[in-house]
Chains A and B, each alone.
Chain A
Amino acid sequence: MATITAEPTGVAVVEEEHPLPFIRKYIFSTDHKTIAIQFLFTCLFFLLVGGLLAVMLRYQLGYPGKPMPGGDLLPETMAPGGIILPEFYISLVTMHGTFMVFFAIMPLLVGVYANYLIPLQIGTHDMAFPRLNMWSYWLFFVSGLVMLSSFAVEGGASVAGWTQYAPLSAMPEASGVYAGQQLWMISIAIFGFSSLLGSINYVTTVINLRAPGMTWFRLPLATWSLFITAILGLLAIPVLTAAVIMLLFDQTIGTTFFLPETGGQPLLWQHLFWFFGHPEVYILILPAMGFVSDIIANGSRKPIFGYHSMVFALISIAFLGFIVWGHHMFQSGMNPALAMSFMISTLVIAVPSAIKVFNWMGTMWRGSIQFTPHMLFAVGFVMLFAIGGLSGIFMASTPVDIYIHDTYFIVAHLHYVLFGGSLFAIFAAIYYWFPKMFGRMINDTMGRIHFALTFIFFNLVFFPMHGLGMGGMMRRIYDPSQYEHLAGMQDTNTLVSLSAFALYASGLLFFVMFFWSLFRGKKAPVNPWNATTLEWQVPSPPLHGNWTEIPVVYHGPYEYSHPDMDKDWLSQNERPDVVSPARH
C-alpha cells in the first residue's frame, strides 16, 4: 500500500512501502488520525472516571452520611462502611474538576479533533511534525496515569480543589495530603509539555500546509477555532507550568513563593493560575463553537450567517480572554480598583459571545433543518451555552459577585458552559465525524434518545443550582446541614443527586452505543451528511496520508443551497464549472 511521508519542507512524497508493523501502526503511530483516535478512547475513559467521581460526591450531598451502594469496595481511608469521609469528599471534588478539565474536555476538543480534523480540513497529508505529535499523545497518557496514581498513595489524592490555592496546596500540615499534592503538580507539568507539542503542530500546520486555494477566509470555522485555541494554549499553559513547578518547589525543597511566613504571597498563585485559567476556559469553549458552526451550517443546509464576524468574534474572545483573569479574584483581597478594571474587560467579552449566538440563530433562520443527533446536540449547545453565558453576567458584576462567589451559582454557571456547552459540542462532534473516523454509522434513533435524556437530566441537575447559590450554599462543602441558612435545601440537593445518577446512566448508554456502532454500525459512505468541507472528500475512514493528490480549493467552506444549483451543497474542491458562488 502506498504511504506518504512528510519531508521537513512540508511537501509530501508518495512511496511504496512494506506495511507497518502493528506497534508502529496502532501504538506508536505518527498518523494524526490514529493519534486522534488514541486520544478519543483515552479521554472517553477519563470522562467516565470524572463522571463517577461526581456521582460519588453527589451521593454524599443527596444522602449525607448514608453508606453509598458499592461504597464498601472503597478502602477505610476513603469511605469506612461505605460512608464517604470529609477528606475523601474534598478529594472527589478536586479530582472531578481536575479529570474533567484536563483529561476529558480539553483533550476531547483539542487532542482528538485538532489532530483529526486539521490536516483533513486544510487538505494536507499529516501534521507538520508527526513524531512530535506522537509524543504529545504519550506524554498525555503518562500524565493521566500519574494523576490516577495519586488516589493510591498514602494520604490520598489532592484535596485543594482543581484551583489548588496556596498555601493550602503547598502545606501538607494544613491539607493532610502529602504525595497526592505533589503528584498533581507533576502530572500537570507533564500535561503541559504534551499540550505544547500539540499546539506547535497545530499552529505550524495551519499556517504552512494549507492546500492551494485554501486561503485564510476559506478555512472552516472548526479549523479556525482550533488554530486560535492552539495559540491560546501556547501562551497560557507555560505560565501554569511555571506556577505548578514553583508550587512543587514550595512543597518539597523549601522555597517560599506562596508561603507568607517567609515573604511569599498566596495571591501570586492565584494571579499565575488564573492568568492561565481564564484563557484555559476559552480553550475549552472555542473549539466547541467551531464544531457547532460547521455542524449547524450543514444541518441547516445554509452558509454560516456571518462568516467574517464569526472569525473576528473568535479572535476577540481569544485576545480579551487574556485580560479578564482577575474576575476569578474579585473577593480575594486584591486592590478594588484593579478589580474594577477586570470587571470592565469581563463585561466586554460578553459581546463577541453574544454575536456568535445570534449568528448561529441567523444560520438556522430560513434553513432546512434536519434533526440528526449531531444537529440536536449542536442546537442544544447554543441553548445551554446561552444560559451559561447569561449567568456569567451576574458574576461579572463585582458587587453581585460578593454574594455569589464560591456558591453553587458559580457551579451552575461553569457546568452550563462546560457541559451544556463544551460536552454537548463534543457529543455533536462525535456523532458528526464518527462515520469519517470509523467508517460506520451510529444509529440515529439511539442518538436522539441519548440527546433527549442528556438534555433533560442535565437541566434537572444544574438549573436548580442557581437557586442553591442564591440561597447561599457554598462550594466544596461536605455537609450543608452544618449551616442554618442551608437547612431547607436538602430536598433540592437530593433531587439534583438523583438526576445526576440518571445523567451518568445516560452517559453509560452513550458508551454502549458508541462501542456497539464501532463494530456493528452500518457501513458509512464517503459523505453521509452531504457536507462541503474537505474531510468529506476522502474515504471513510481516510487512507494513511489522506490524499493521493493534494486537492485544490475553489470555494468557501459553507456553500449550501446555492439558488442556481440543484444539489444543495458544493464541496470546497469542486471545480467551478457550473457556478462560482459569491464572495469567496
Chain B
Amino acid sequence: MTSHAATMERGRSPERGLGVPTNKLGMWIFLTSEVMFFTGIIGSYIILRFGASDSWAAPGEVLNVTVTAVNTFILICSSVTMVKAFAAIENGDEKMLRIWLLATAIIGASFVGIQLFEYSELIHHGFLPSSGLYGSTFYSMTGFHGFHVTVGVLCILWVTLKAFRGGYTQENHQGVEVIGLYWHFVDLVWIILFTIVYLI
C-alpha cells in the first residue's frame, strides 16, 4: 500500500510548512546562502573602499562603463526571455518553452563572453587582480558573479535539452521554475554590482 494511499485513507495530508513545493523551497534556501556569500564579498568591498576612499579610481577611469552597461542590458533581456519561457510552459506551449530557453542560454552565454572580453582588455592594459585594492575587489566580485552566471548557463542548457526531449509539461515543469529563480537572482546581483562597481 502506498503511503499516499495511507494518508488519504486517514484523510490527512503531510504537514506543509510554507505551502511551497519542495524543489522550489530548496532553491529559495540555497539562494539565501548565496545572498550571504555575496554579502561577504560585497561587504568587504564596501569596507575596504571606504577605508581608502581618497585613493579610489573614479567611475570610468579604469573600467569601460559603456560596454558593461550594454552587457547589463543583455543580462536583463535574458531574464525577460526566462520569464517568457516559464509563462509558455505554464500555458502548455512546449514549443515556445524550447525557443525561449534556448534564447536565454544564448544571451546568458553572450554576457559571459563579453565579460571575458572585457577582462582580456583590462589585463592587456595591465589591470590585474594584483593591482591594489581596486583590482582585488573588482576581479573577485565580478569573477564570482561571472562564475555563478556560467554555472547558470550550463544549468539552463541542461534544462533546454530536457525541454527538447519533451521533459516538461504544463502539469510538471518545476525544473524550469527553479532554474528561473536562480537566473533572476544572478541578474539581481549583477544590477547591484554594476551600480556599485561601475557607476559609483
Residues of chain A whose beta carbon lies under 8 Å from any beta carbon of chain B? 8-14, 124-125, 128-129, 196, 199-201, 203-204, 206-216, 234-239, 241-243, 245-246, 249-250, 253-257, 262-265, 268, 271-272, 275, 547-550, 552
Contacts and interface: CB of A to CB of B under 8 A. Distances in A.
Contact of B15 (A214, A249, A254, A264): A214
In order of increasing CB-CB distance, the 9 nearest A-B pairs are A254-B130, A242-B40, A212-B12, A207-B17, A255-B136, A238-B37, A210-B15, A238-B36, A239-B40
Given A129-B26, A204-B26, 13 more contacts: A128-B25, A235-B32, A235-B33, A237-B33, A238-B33, A238-B37, A250-B136, A253-B130, A255-B129, A271-B47, A272-B44, A275-B40, A549-B1
A264 B41 CA distance: 14
Contacts of A242: 37-38, 40-41, 44
Given A10-B22, A208-B17, A210-B14, A272 B40 contact: yes
Contacts of A548: 1, 3
Given A8-B22, A264-B133, A550-B6, A203 B15 contact: no
Contacts of B136: 249-250, 255-257, 264
B135 A210 contact: no
B140 A241 contact: no
A247 B45 CA distance: 14
Contact of B130 (A201, A255, A263): A255
Q: Interface centre among B7, B14, B52, by most A CB within 10 Å?
A: B14
Contact of A552 (B12, B37, B38, B48): B12
B165 interface: no
A9 B21 contact: yes
Interface string B1-28: 1111011001011111110111101100
A131 to B, nearest CB: 12
B14 A550 contact: yes
Contact of A12 (B3, B23, B29): B3
Contacts of B129: 249, 253-255
B44 A125 contact: no
Q: Interface centre among A8, A124, A209, A275, by most B CB within 10 Å?
A: A8
A467 B90 CA distance: 69
B64 interface: no
A303 B23 CA distance: 36
Q: Interface centre among B17, B18, B40, by most A CB within 10 Å?
A: B40
Interface of B: 1-4, 6-7, 10, 12-18, 20-23, 25-26, 29-30, 32-34, 36-41, 44, 47-48, 51-52, 55, 128-130, 132-133, 135-137, 139-140, 174
Nearest to A208: B22
B14 A249 contact: no
A262 B133 contact: yes
B4 A246 contact: no
A212 B52 contact: no
Given A246-B41, A263-B132, A8 B4 contact: no
Given A257-B48, A550-B7, A212 B14 contact: yes
Contacts of A201: 26
A200 B30 contact: yes
A207 B25 contact: yes
Nearest to B36: A238
A257 B137 CA distance: 8
30 contacts: A8-B21, A8-B23, A11-B14, A13-B2, A125-B3, A128-B25, A200-B29, A207-B25, A208-B18, A210-B14, A210-B17, A212-B12, A212-B15, A234-B29, A234-B33, A234-B36, A238-B37, A239-B37, A239-B40, A242-B37, A246-B140, A250-B136, A263-B48, A263-B52, A264-B136, A272-B40, A272-B44, A548-B1, A548-B3, A552-B10
A253 B135 CA distance: 11
A18 to B, nearest CB: 20
A10 B4 CA distance: 10
B22 A13 contact: no
A249 B140 contact: yes
A210 B6 CA distance: 15
A268 B47 contact: yes
Contacts of A203: 29
B22 A204 contact: yes
B14 A10 contact: yes
Given A13-B2, A204-B25, A268-B47, A238 B40 contact: yes
Contacts of B139: 255
A268 B44 contact: yes
A196 B33 contact: yes
Contacts of A549: 1, 3, 6
Contact of A256 (B10, B20, B132): B132
Given A234-B33, A242-B37, A212 B135 contact: no
Contacts of B128: 254
A513 B68 CA distance: 64
Given A263-B55, A265-B51, A208 B6 contact: no
B134 to A, nearest CB: 9
B36 A236 contact: yes
Contacts of A263: 48, 52, 55, 132-133
Contacts of A128: 22, 25-26
B39 A239 contact: yes
A278 B20 CA distance: 31
A11 B8 CA distance: 12
Given A239-B40, A253-B130, A209 B22 contact: yes
A180 B17 CA distance: 45
B44 A200 contact: no
B5 to A, nearest CB: 9
A526 to B, nearest CB: 20
A11 B7 CA distance: 10
Contacts of A125: 3
A129 to B, nearest CB: 6
Contacts of A12: 2-4
Nearest to A256: B136
A246 B174 CA distance: 35
Q: Interface centre among B3, B12, B21, B23, by most A CB within 10 Å?
A: B3
A304 to B, nearest CB: 21
B12 A257 contact: no
Nearest to A214: B15
A255 B135 contact: yes
A211 B14 contact: yes
A234 B140 CA distance: 21
Contacts of B23: 8
